[in-house]
Amino acid sequence: MIAGYLQLGMGIMAWLSELLAQLNWVYVVSGLAVGFIVGMTGVGGGSLMTPILARLGVGLPTAVGTDLLYAAITKSGGIYVHQKHKNIDWDITGRLAMGSLPAAALTILVLHLSHADPSTITKLMKFTLGIALVITALAILCKNRLLAFAQQHASDWLDLPPRTLLWATIGVGVLLGVIVTLSSIGAGALGTVALFLLYPRMPTARLVGTEIAHAVPLTLLAGLGHAGLGNLNWALLLNLLCGSLPGIYVGSHLTGAVPEKVLRPCLAVMLGIVGCMLVFK
């Protein structure tokens, strides 16, 4: 019996040794930094992670594919928490998914069947990523004004026919499905703003929970699609998770340590500059 426990212990030590040998501390620290910022601000990790990976020399298709699965894993725990507090509107989640999941699958299929030159695919992803970053930066900077505008006109929008609201939500899902699949970002910041404009009376906590419930299957499907295209690095994914999971935990406990009116504009300016560089480079 003792020999069995010793053998088990040696097996665990060997597994840990192999795991540590695969760690690249540059990627681990990058994941830690992004996780920390996401925990403090709630800004989508893809907005930060994908540009960082690209700057570290990771090919953009691989960075996008890896980041999509990274997002699906890191956000999956949020579904349990928000559902526990009844902060998910599953009807709206379903409407978004009706548009985003087929759009993501179709985008992956087009990438697979196009047989385009890899450099052309990279340019398309770079342009989409740049535009998404600029829009995300504007959404962060103008968040309060957008919320005020939505609330001011809430009575007008609430009079929309249910069928019109249904198709508008599905349309937003389609747009998010394409953008997220090509750039890995948009499900967070852009999805949240779109939901608030469509459903201005929805409480913020329920809006965030609904966005997360939609983002997980979308990023999972898109990530698995990229994996099928060969745009996934499992070792890189492991490194990012080793850093980001503790980073998110620590950052979430320090929310408010840095004033939001200082932190969010700095993040928005940084994302805007990176986005412009990608679009016009």
pLDDT tens, position by position, 40-86:
665 656 677 888 888 888 888 899 999 898 888 887 877 877 788 78
pLDDT score of 34? 80
Q: Is the pLDDT of residue 157 over 70?
A: no
Give tens-digit pLDDT for 229-243: 888 888 888 888 888
For the segment 77-105, the average pLDDT, to the nearest whole number, is 88
Percentage of the chain surpassing pLDDT 70? 79
**Residue 222's pLDDT band (cuts 50, 70, 90):** very high
pLDDT score of 260? 63
Radius of gyration for the chain, computed over Cα atoms and rounded to the nearest angstrom: 20
Contact (Cβ atoms closer than 8 angstroms) between residue 212 and residue 78: yes
pLDDT score of 87? 82
Rounded Cα distance between 210 and 173, Å, is: 13
Better pLDDT: 55 or 102: 102
Contact (Cβ atoms closer than 8 angstroms) between residue 35 and residue 251: yes
What tokens were used for 184? Answer: 């890995």
Rounded Cα distance between 160 and 197, Å, is: 13
User: What is the DSSP code (8-state) at residue 232?
Assistant: -
Rounded Cα distance between 225 and 41, Å, is: 29
Residues 6+ apart with CB under 8 A from 190: 132, 135, 136, 139, 176, 179
pLDDT score of 52? 84
**Residue 14's pLDDT band (cuts 50, 70, 90):** low
Around 150, how many Cα atoms within 13 Å sit in the side-chain half-sphere? Answer: 19
Predicted model pTM: 0.81
| pLDDT mean across residues, the chain | 79
pLDDT score of 91? 93
Give tens-digit pLDDT for 113-139: 887 777 788 888 888 888 888 888 887
Give the start-to-end residue ranges of the domains of the chain.
22-280
**Residue 173's pLDDT band (cuts 50, 70, 90):** very high
CA distances for 227 relative to 111, 134, 239, angstroms: 12, 27, 17
Contact (Cβ atoms closer than 8 angstroms) between residue 31 and residue 250: no
Rounded Cα distance between 129 and 121, Å, is: 12
Question: Any idea which residue has 């740049």 for tokens?
Answer: 130
Q: Is the pLDDT of residue 158 over 60?
A: no
User: What is the DSSP code (8-state) at residue 203?
Assistant: -
What tokens were used for 100? Answer: 């985003």
Better pLDDT: 17 or 98: 98
CA distances for 119 relative to 59, 124, 129, 131, 223, angstroms: 10, 9, 15, 18, 20
Question: Any idea which residue has 């989409």 for tokens?
Answer: 128
